[in-house]
Amino acid sequence: MTAQGHFALLLHAHLPFVRHPEHPRHLEEHWLFEAVTDSYLPLLGLLMEAVERGSGFRFTLSLSPTLLCMLADSLLAERYLDYLGRLRRLSERVSLDLRSDPARQSLARFYSRRLDRLRTLFLNDLGGDLIAGFKSIENSGMAELITTAATHGYLPLLRSRPKAVRAQLRVARDHFEDVFGRIPLGLWLPECGYYPGLEREVAQAGYRYFVLDAHGVQRASPRTRHGVYAPYWAGDTVAVFGRDPDSARELWCPDTGYPGHPLYREYHLDLGYEGDSELLGDFLPPGVDSAPTGLKFHRVTGRSGFKAPYEPAAAFAQAERDARRFVEGRRRLQRSLSVGPRPPIVVAPYDAELFGHWWFEGPAFLEALIHCLDEAQDIRPVTLGEHLHLHGTAGDICPATSSWGERGYNSAWLRPDMGWVYLHLHQAAGELEELLSRREPMDGWCEASRLLRQAARSLLLAQSSDWTFQMGRGTGSAYCESRLRDQLARFRFLTEALRGGRVSDEQLLAVERMDNLFPNLDLSHFG
């Protein structure tokens, strides 16, 4: 049977830049270690197996610049192995704990075996280099790698300083080229945040396409004939794809989405919250009483009350059933779409961390999805760039202002208590522009150039959408606010030094060591 439609899975892998060389073990660095253990390593493992068996699967993967910087950092790699060892010892203690029931001990042994496999994958198969693993998947033809803004700055709320938007886009492009040796074809807009005119900045930075939430295309002008099931020109040289709302709903909806199935592992009940200091031993950083470990022993069961023990075999079997149901849903959708000279494309973008970290069975779902698509004759998996190359666009549109998240129009990042953040960010961006406008020639100005580059790094880090999204939302919000304030304070310290204040080489080295991302930062993007 001839393929009737295209399916484009897009995974967006991103974490905010968190690196604390001043602390031997810092709790928030666990965000990276958890994502590597729960999501990135399992994803690479199943993709490598798919390549080995000759799968025809294709997908698009966005790797954020901050994530790439952390994955390339030798200090964080060393700390990750220490984390993995501590977690392995913790699972072993649970498996031998006489106070635990047999089912709990058995599940702890399951976790121990899993951690051993992941350690082997990381050290032996990947040589401790996840970036090389992602490169090999792209070289095999299975993946198309793209990027997002430099520090995931929320662009619609930076637009009053156009050069701030420009820097986010161009620093990201440069870093991707440094890492992968080519300019990225596509751009993941942070939080799918779009405003009219952004397409010009995207095109001028050298990208060929970006992705919007569904209503950004559905409410575009003029009204589109194909809805979100075709790409469109949003300018002379940049195309836009829209997210399929049904694919999003099936995985993200808290009420009806797959991850809420009773057989799946319950995310919110974790050994680290049980307060058993004897068991937790050396896993938690000094001074921390409770934090997630990733060792969870219950399944979703129901919306509240009693939680039954988790059974991995039953959960993974459900993941395979859900993958088949998902493919059948896309098959029904594509049959309902008009068949013309161009195949419809269903774009299904998700945070990569959904698969494994938030939804433990997510990698098993993806593995089954790949098998299902390999068997299918009427759905062709493609990358976004591949579809654009083969079929072009379905016309010109002016997309609508949009984002994903609650209400779909910026509100998740601009709450009443967040106004002060953008005031400071806009003032800092203007101050950096002013300092760069009166910069003298580089000769004899080495220290000033270092100060300017480090100030630009601090500004980029303060602009991260992660801080404003999380602030005021409970766990982690205090750290996010302190992280944002620290970056603004570092920016102020550096700019005051540029204006005649005093800074020792030791002080500057300390700041450079803490925020060591983007080593080849081009200051021309900011001025």
Q: What is the pLDDT of residues 168-225, one digit of tens each?
A: 999 999 999 999 999 999 999 999 999 999 999 999 999 999 999 999 999 999 999 8
Contact 314, 263 (CB under 8 A): yes
Which of the residue ranges 110-124, 305-319, 397-411 would you say has the lowest mean pLDDT?
Answer: 397-411
Q: Write down the pLDDT at residue 1.
A: 40
How large a percentage of the chain has pLDDT more than 70?
97
Tokens standing for residue 134: 């992602």
Using alpha carbons, list the distances in angstroms from residue 508 to 23, 121, 171, 432, 460. 18, 38, 22, 18, 17
Shortest CA distance to 285 belongs to which of 484, 20, 108, 104? 20
Q: Which band of pLDDT confidence, cut at 50, 70 and 90, is reported for residue 229? A: very high
Query: Domain residue spans in the chain?
Result: 7-406, 415-525
Contact 355, 9 (CB under 8 A): no
pLDDT in tens, 42-54: 999 999 999 999 9
Tokens standing for residue 146: 């793209």
Give the three-state DSSP class for 59.
Answer: strand
- Interhelix angle 446-462/162-180, rounded to 10 degrees, is 100
Measure the CA–CA gap between 187 and 205, rounded to whole angstroms.
10
Mean pLDDT to the nearest integer, 490-498: 95
Tokens standing for residue 215: 């209503």
Which of the residue ranges 110-119, 316-325, 330-339, 518-527 would you say has the lowest mean pLDDT?
Answer: 330-339
Q: Write down the pLDDT at residue 236.
A: 83
Contact 210, 188 (CB under 8 A): yes
Mean pLDDT to the nearest integer, 490-513: 92
Tell me the average pLDDT of the chain.
94
Considering the segment(s) 415-525 as one domain, its CATH architecture is Up-down Bundle (1.20)
Pick the CATH number of 7-406 from 3.20.110.10, 2.10.10.90, 3.40.718.10, 3.90.1150.10: 3.20.110.10
Q: Which band of pLDDT confidence, cut at 50, 70 and 90, is reported for residue 116? A: very high
Mean pLDDT to the nearest integer, 423-451: 82
Mean pLDDT to the nearest integer, 359-369: 98
pLDDT in tens, 164-175: 999 999 999 999
